[in-house]
Amino acid sequence: MLSASPKRVVLIGAGMVARTHVAACADAAGVALYGVQSRTVEKARDLAEMAQSRVGHPIRVFHDLGAVAADPDVDFAIVLTPPNARADIIRPLAEAGKHILLEKPMGRNADEAREVVTICRDADVTLGVVFQHRMREASRKAAQMIAANDLGALGLVEVSVPWWREQSYYDEPGRGSYARDGGGVLISQAIHTIDLALWLAGPVASVRAMAATTRFHRMESEDFVVAGLEFESGAVGSLVASTASFPGGAESITLHFDRASLHLESGELHMSWRDGRSVVFGAAGGTGGGADPMAFTHEWHQGVIEDFAAALISGRPPAITGKDALAAHDLIDAITTSARTGGVTELTT
């Protein structure tokens, strides 16, 4: 029998990232993986079998969302499906009182993301988003250093996502399409780094961007984006994101302040002070930027899931709320608009 104290969770979706969430739930304190549900029952059964061997107790296979919504033992759901049907999945669960932890992106665009936030708000359930890069030791240390106000004013932000995906990745039906995914490298890959950069550097006021599909991929949407950014703080910056950068490298964020520069890459924070001091925090790890998109630890997902369960127990908001995640969606929409029109796009706050 499972203890009554852990929060029971059901995974909705059995795709590429589901096994990462199984491992994260298995190791997360205060969480018990209770069941899985997928529109493809065979995939759900395979995932449940793997999960059962990992967690050491039976895993229920739900045949439809209605069964998940009706089960009083389900505390929250982790939704892992593509973004094209998020509202239809989340609404019945939220209306049944199930809290929602949502894999990125929340929707195919900012309007759909806001719809998800509204659904959960109206149902009075907690909505969290899996932006696991915020859980890295290096990211949290950078946030602490910035909050301490010892670095001076921020002047320049450099964001780089030099990833690689084989054509076979985009050969999966719907991948990289506007109808299923809402776009390409921005919303599917760079969104994690965009969220982290905004969390650390603050909101963007305006963008000027270009987007393209390189000769290396056959896909509907973009695999390369470059954008100039003007932050509300007065700082300026650049964003370069690609899945055409063979063989693929780690994403990075560099923040240049009056007294020091902070460089985040591969789970490490490199601090270079203007007076000559240099400090490194964190530990290097895989990022999924190369040919294997799953080449990263599950520990960051575990941190998000543990925090979400603790938030439900204590009644506080989770570390990354749905409202928090809207900033990344708004910036992605602004970059997309600027690239399409060829002009500057202003963001409203």
HEC sequence for 277-313: CEEEEECCCCCCCCCCCCCCCCHHHHHHHHHHHHHHH
Identify whether the C-beta of residue 113 lies closer than 8 Å to the C-beta of residue 325. yes
* Radius of gyration from C-alpha coordinates of the chain: 20
- The SS3 of residue 214 is coil
Residue type, position 80, single letter: L
Say whether both 31 and 173 belong to one domain: no
Query: Is 203 in the same domain as 145?
Result: yes
pLDDT confidence tier of residue 284, bands split at 50, 70 and 90: confident
Same domain (yes/no): 227, 94:
no
pLDDT tens for residues 143-182?
A: 999 999 999 999 999 999 999 999 999 999 999 999 999 9
Section 232-252 average pLDDT: 97
Provide the pLDDT for residue 1: 34
218: in domain: yes
Q: Is the pLDDT of residue 226 over 60?
A: yes
Instruction: Quote the pLDDT of residue 294.
Output: 55
Q: For residues 221 and 336, state if they share a domain.
A: yes
Query: Across all residues in the chain, what is the average pLDDT?
Result: 94
Helical ranges in the chain per DSSP H: 18-27, 41-55, 65-70, 86-95, 110-123, 137-147, 167-171, 185, 191-201, 299-314, 322-341
| Domain coverage including residue 161 | 134-289+328-346
Domain total of the chain: 2
pLDDT digits (tens, 9 = 90+) for 17-26: 999 999 999 9
Smallest CA-to-CA distance from 7 within 36, 28, 37 is with 28
CATH number at residue 275: 3.30.360.10
Tell me, yes or no, whether 148 and 84 share the same domain. Answer: no
N-term to C-term CA, the chain: 49
Residue 317 has pLDDT above 70, yes or no: yes
Q: For 322-349, what is each residue's pLDDT tens digit?
A: 999 999 999 999 999 999 999 999 997 6
User: Is residue 66 situated within a structural domain?
Assistant: yes
Query: For position 32, which CATH number holds?
Result: 3.40.50.720
Q: Calculate mean pLDDT across residues 268-291.
A: 84
In a domain, 224, yes or no: yes
**Shared domain check, 262 and 220:** yes
pLDDT digits (tens, 9 = 90+) for 26-41: 999 999 999 999 999 9
Residue at 152 is within a domain: yes
Question: 291 pLDDT band (50/70/90 cuts)?
Answer: low
Please state, in angstroms and rounded to a whole number, the distance separating the CA atoms of residues 146 and 154: 9
pLDDT of residue 235: 98
